[in-house]
Amino acid sequence: GQSLEQPSEVTAVEGAIVQINCTYQTSGFYGLSWYQQHDGGAPTFLSYNALDGLEETGRFSSFLSRSDSYGYLLLQELQMKDSASYFCAVRSGTGFQKLVFGTGTRLLVSP
Amino acid sequence: DTGVSQDPRHKITKRGQNVTFRCDPISEHNRLYWYRQTLGQGPEFLTYFQNEAQLEKSRLLSDRFSAERPKGSFSTLEIQRTEQGDSAMYLCASSIDRRGPITQYFGPGTRLTVL
C-alpha cells in the first residue's frame, strides 16, 4: 500500500519562507505531486517531481529525493492568500492513474 | 468557465435515501476520477474512468455506490441507502492522456450531509 506523512500544521508570517515536508512509502513510484486547497475549495495542482531535484514555479518550489522517499514544498515570499491546506500525493493503482494523498498540512500565514 | 463542474454543490438527505451526483469534466479530458474527502483529511480515491470504461474501483466503494460514465463525457455517482458515515465532500477530477505528468483538475465538489 501507500502512505504519505506530512506535518499537520505550519505557521509563518507574511514575507517569510516555509517548507512543508512529505515522506512516503509506496510499492511503486511514479512521481510526487503537490496540491493546494483553500477552505471550501477544490484541490488545485501546484507542482510535480518525477526525478530527483528541485522544480521551481514562481514563488513555489518542490524538491524530491527518491532514495530518501522524501520531498518538500517550499513557499517563498509568503502572502496571506497562501493560507490553505497543502497535500502531497503519489500516483498508484492500475496504470498509476489514481492519486493517493497525504493527510495534508494546514498553513497559517499571519500579518 | 471551462473547468470541471459538479452538481449539486450541496445535498442534505435523510438516512436511507438515495442520492445522485453529476460531474462534467473538462471537455477534451478522457479520464475522470471520483474522490471522497472528510474534514481534515486528504481526498480518498473512489473510482476512475477512461472514456466510458470504469478501470478501477476502491474497496471504499461498497455495493451501495455505483458510478457511470455512459458516453465518456459526464459521470454520475449514486449512493443508495445512504448512511451517516457517507457524509463527506465528493470530488470529481479529470485529466487528459499525454506524456509526462498527468495533472488532475478538480471540481468544486458536492458536499453531502446525511441526517
**Mind listing the pLDDT tens digit for each residue in A21-33?**
999 998 878 889 9
Res B60: pLDDT: 79
Ramachandran sector of residue B81 (left: φ over 0; alpha: ψ -120 to 50; beta: rest): left
Q: Give the type of residue at A20.
A: I
For chain B, what percent of residues have pLDDT higher than 70? 96
3-class DSSP state for residue A84?
A: strand
A80: three-class secondary structure by DSSP? helix
Q: Percentage of chain B surpassing pLDDT 90? A: 76
Residues in chain B, how many? Answer: 115
Interface check A71 vs B, CB under 8 A: no
CB–CB contact B91 A43 (8 Å)? yes
Q: What is the mean pLDDT of residues A61-74?
A: 96
Residues in chain A: 111
Which chain A residue lies closest to B90 (C-alpha atoms)?
Answer: A42
**What are the chain B neighbours of A89 within 8 Å (beta carbons)?**
42
Interface contact flag, B105 A45, Cβ < 8 Å:
yes
Tell me, yes or no, if A42 comes closer than 8 A to chain B by beta carbon. Answer: yes
Given a cut of 80, whether residue A92 has pLDDT beyond it is no
Give the residues of chain B that fall short of pLDDT 50. none
> Are β-strands B110-114 and B10-13 bridged in parallel, bridged antiparallel, or unpaired?
parallel
- Identify whether the C-beta of residue A1 lies closer than 8 Å to the C-beta of residue A27: yes
Nearest-angstrom CA–CA distance, B111 and B7 = 10
Question: Nearest residue on chain A to B101, judged by CA atoms?
Answer: A48
Q: What is the grid cell recorded at A104?
A: 495534508
